A and B are shown apart, each in its own frame.
Chain A
């Protein structure tokens, strides 16, 4: 790759240096001897060469790259004002995290990072769903029918930005290998002239397929429309018919005409009617409206609302479904029973995050009651703590599982999106089940079919990583990986450290450069050998005041790229770790997307990463431990991932 930029970049990038890279302005490590990071781990069947790192050890046979000592790091504290997004001034109650707005810096960088086509081309993913070009957003109407998984999506056929929205369509046998089909629906009626927006599918017991979707009318009113396949004997469901008497639902009088969108999949009530929900808001209270229907053509507004939470703003992409509290399978959307809990999920327009709550559902009272009112819809748990929005589940009856689709937007500049000609990805579909062990959250996990892309495996067993060390894992090029790892902190280290009242928050922590006694440690993905760019995915453990351990799981983009026009946030959250559990993670690395899962999917973080150097054969994988006290033992399986060749197959109709 073009590395010429490295040699003349004396650009002082404003992040704390973790290992020393090619930065001349920092405290020299000459006193420690010139060190190199060398590949020392052999993959495959060979037993790992155990790397012994003594604190401060450095030698010409330097087996490890040692991190700078604590004293050196202190010198590199970064003024916090350089990291905060620009305040919106008096706009109170707004989350600063909700939108990326870089600080108006005083010429910190000097050099504008020159993106070239090679760097931009690398960003396309190998096995994540994306159209050949242009903009995509919300997943729509996912369903399984006659042996095929169907996926529809919000699409702009005219550019790499939102607008002119129509429904794209693709099919797959396995949720991983996709074939693009012609557009399913375009804006050709007065009732969707200004946008064929998000909707959901309902499969009726007799095999009929109902699609309800939001249209923006010629008068700019948001309405709900009915569509259905033109030919149910066509398993590819290529052609769709819009019900001639659309719209089937218009905004009720107390709702604004632009706060009425994203109808859910329907579920059967005990009266034999179909029930749907549509998100909206009244002032700043997010609400879910309820309608019943027998034929999806005429609807009855049900008095009251399914749920409401003040100060959450507009509820988009409402999803409402049952989960089994006993079995590790998905349930049909109409399921009910004693061993069933309900999940209410919303996408908050205000902060572009997806939230969910577990609770009970009273059909007669039309009421969803969260199990924990402190973790209500929109105020509690999120599906994913990174870039992840407008998600939607469907029941896959062929494998009895509930599958979650999610829209993963870009975190780079529009300039780059226009240059590369596309914007947005879908996350790898995830199964959703109730976490029986904690009883208070869901578990998400990439669908098993993604494992069919696994090729060569590199296995590392009981790799001891001393405090302050970084280990290059010699697995070859690291842009397409599936990683499963387990970490164990030495019990002695846990026992000897003091208890603390520290509350760790990934987002404000300053990332993997800030050392604690028991963290951070984990993996550096999309890292170049010189560590000028890297993305730590890590655990950070705190020993609380009652001796209990509290664990956070984070994805740190602050050093992910030398470019200055990409988002460098740190994402993550706490993750429940039960007695006796090891710390475990899974990471899917696929070029510019990294999806990370902790403790079997209790806490998930998706990020977008845009390196300029750590690309193609220069992308590497490291183990790291930047804790001050804890010695960590890591075992991992790392698979190289094949491409799913998604954009090689298209079906175009002859006009």
Chain B
């Protein structure tokens, strides 16, 4: 009788191990797609970071991964817009003009590039998503280059540029 307890315990361990390892084998394929996709972008580490932080990523196809990145783009653009609004009130006159230009550029990203990209990816016409992502990177560049002195938006512009470039590379895989 006393043999049963350790036996039951052993069976429990074996079964748990079996179940746990089986669960783990479901993940690798999806994690692989994320890794494979990110390898084809200019910034593997950043790509992995953003995709891994989205719960939808492991079960997404490449289109889904692209849509996740477009959402990251939207977040970055909104962060930049908020920062611009904070800065505009207290900035010197020469910076104000550039900040206004930047606001216009980020607005174009939010009202044009991103909706275009989302629709293009959802409807299977990815080239318009690539165009939107490329434009967003260019807008961020233009904003950054527009400051004659030190840019107060370097972090935001770099983030926007880097995320957009990753998105563009992922979309290219769909063409």
Contacts and interface: CB of A to CB of B under 8 A. Distances in A.
Interface stretch (A47-55, A93-101, A145-153, A610-618): A93-101
A413 B138 contact: yes
Contacts of B42: 86-89
A194 to B, nearest CB: 5
A101 B134 contact: yes
A102 B138 contact: yes
A91 B40 contact: yes
A99 B161 CA distance: 15
A313 B130 CA distance: 15
Interface string B21-32: 000000000000
A418 B107 contact: yes
A102 B115 CA distance: 22
A655 to B, nearest CB: 27
Contacts of B40: 88-91
B105 interface: yes
A101 B146 contact: no
B114 to A, nearest CB: 10
Interface string A486-528: 0000000000000000000000000000000000000000000
Interface in A408-431: 413-415, 417-419
Contacts of B142: 112, 413, 415, 564-565
- Interface class of chain B by DSSP: helix
Given A413-B105, A415-B104, A111 B146 contact: yes
Contact of B165 (A86, A160, A414, A417): A86
Contact of B112 (A86, A160, A220, A258): A160
Nearest to B43: A89
A112 B115 contact: no
A350 B127 CA distance: 8
Contacts, number: 138
Contact of A220 (B122, B127, B141): B122
A350 B175 contact: yes
Contact of B131 (A99, A164, A258): A99
B49 to A, nearest CB: 16
Interface residues of A, number: 48
A220 B172 CA distance: 20
Given A105-B145, A195-B123, A564-B145, A91 B108 contact: no
A349 interface: yes
Contact of A418 (B102, B112, B122): B112
B2 interface: no
Given A104-B141, A112-B143, A413-B135, A418 B108 contact: yes
Interface in A146-171: 159-164
8 contacts: A91-B173, A100-B134, A102-B141, A107-B147, A112-B145, A413-B108, A414-B112, A415-B142
Interface of A: 86-91, 94, 99-102, 104-105, 107-112, 114, 159-164, 194-195, 216, 220, 222, 256-259, 313-314, 349-350, 352, 413-415, 417-419, 564-565
Shortest Cβ-Cβ A-B pairs, 5 listed:
A258-B124, A112-B146, A161-B112, A415-B108, A89-B42
Given A161-B112, A417-B112, 6 more contacts: A88-B41, A110-B145, A161-B113, A216-B123, A413-B139, A415-B108
Interface of B: 39-42, 97-98, 101-102, 104-105, 107-109, 111-113, 115-116, 119-120, 122-128, 130-132, 134-135, 137-139, 141-148, 151, 161, 165, 168-169, 172-173, 175
